[in-house]
Chain A
Amino acid sequence: MTVYATPKPQPVSEILVNPPSAEQSDLSVRLPVLLFFTGAIGWFVLGNLVYLLSLIKLHAPAMMAGVPALTYGRLVPAQSAMLLYGFASQAAMGLILWMICRLGRTLLFGKTTLLLVGALWNLTVLIGVVAILGGNLTGLDRFDLPRSAASFILLAFFLYGICALITFHRRTERDLYPSMWWILAAIFFFVWVFAAGYILLQAEPVSGALQPIIATWFSNNIVALWLVPVGAAVVYYFLPKLSGKPLAGYSAAVFSFWAWVLFSSLTGFQYQAAVPRWLPALSAVAAVLSTVPALGMGLAWHQTYAPTKNSSFAGILRMVRFASLIFVIGVVLAALSGVPQTSRNVPQFAELLAYTLWPQGLAQGTFYGFFTLAAVAAMIGIVPTLFNSAPSSLSTGKAFPTMMIAGTLLLILPLLLGGIVQGNALANSSLPFVEATRKTLPFVGISMIGVLILIICGLMMLRDLYELTRNSCMECCGDWVGGGSR
């Protein structure tokens, strides 16, 4: 791919007089964003490899059973930490910086700090994952990092948040596009949710009676209020931009934003039994109410969509659109399957699916189907522009988007179907328990194929990144570590 000469960086003092162009913004965020993205993609590949290994172990439990670090119970929190903190959070952090600078037409503040944050983040995740594999588990879902690692993550994010917010404050474009609201929400909520989880569950742990409540609140909100807002910001940004049309409906966007943060923060308790019944009931109602903003967003996105006139971005648009669809479907499914019945004494839909693969499938639907697809689409669009290069083959070709979408579907759908099968088997008292678990194995097997495809996509992204870096270095210095000439 062709790399073009980099423009000279613009001095900060000039931005109010002469709002930076897109190239200038990109130049100012280049290094931190590339650091976050590289880390993110790297952890995406590693995390999914561990995920794949854990799924293999479900089929062959005795394989490598003598290695404590590879026992299933440690692989699950390890891959969760790698994917949530290593991949998703870093991708989100990079995307936030890039979008603030682009939408706010400003230059990044605190580049050096952010580079340190990136290094610290990756190091912390690495140490945390090694600690997890060594047996230092938290016992809690999605709050997988051990205490010391978690404290560094919080510190790193504080520094990150300050830089991001100062950049935001210095924006020259004072009007706030919807993506900006979601970005502000994401930054704010991550600090609050993670700090609350860290303080109440690790630093000064509360009584065991309260822990299931806080742990459930955390694991729900770290997705609903951190990843979903960044995913929404990405869709709000790329869908109108690539379709070449304005976003349909300002009021709808405002309404959806506030409704989402209001209702989705109360969900998550639908399948938790160790809590007073008002919590699952409240969650059920909140989940149903969350469908309104989700449908609102989905409708606006659907009305905004138009096939892009520029074929270089067709792949990105496809992935973003698909992500938006999966988001809406996921929220509706979660609402439908999360309402415990009150009148009859026979278990209904929600009870049948509790503790099966179904909630896992829904969670993976939001994580892989919505956030990952949207973030990856954005990343393959942004990375070439950071190198001042033409769009990469990942976005111009058809293979990569198709593989990403196919891999995601192959991952999510079997989990949902397997959950239904497992739930029915568990509900059948005359069926021994082991049969219910055995019935899930074929579905898990198909999921494995999806994970494998995603790993390949991750490797393709890494290769793309490598090539861009190499070409950029060669362009600039005529030299490259790996040898070769201009």
Chain B
Amino acid sequence: MKVHEFERLVTKLQLKVRDSRDRIAWFEYDGRVITRTKRSHGKGFDLPAHLIRKQLKVSGKEMAGLIQCSLTFDDYVNILRAKKLL
């Protein structure tokens, strides 16, 4: 996963971010913190997509959908709801 793809997730899922040593992103819904992920600030290498998607609780297909715009914020909420995380 490239940095700009991670940033697309941040925007689409309205993740709250905090830049410290890493860029830490939290997904909040109804005032509760549901999932979290992070990416390092280092450049020149791909981010571990399979580990990021596990943190965001989505499958590989769903992750691809979130990056490629076929899945929306509401779809993500429904995915989490189906997994009883909300």
Answer yes or no: do A and B interact. Answer: no
Interface residues, chain B, CB within 8 Å of chain A?
none
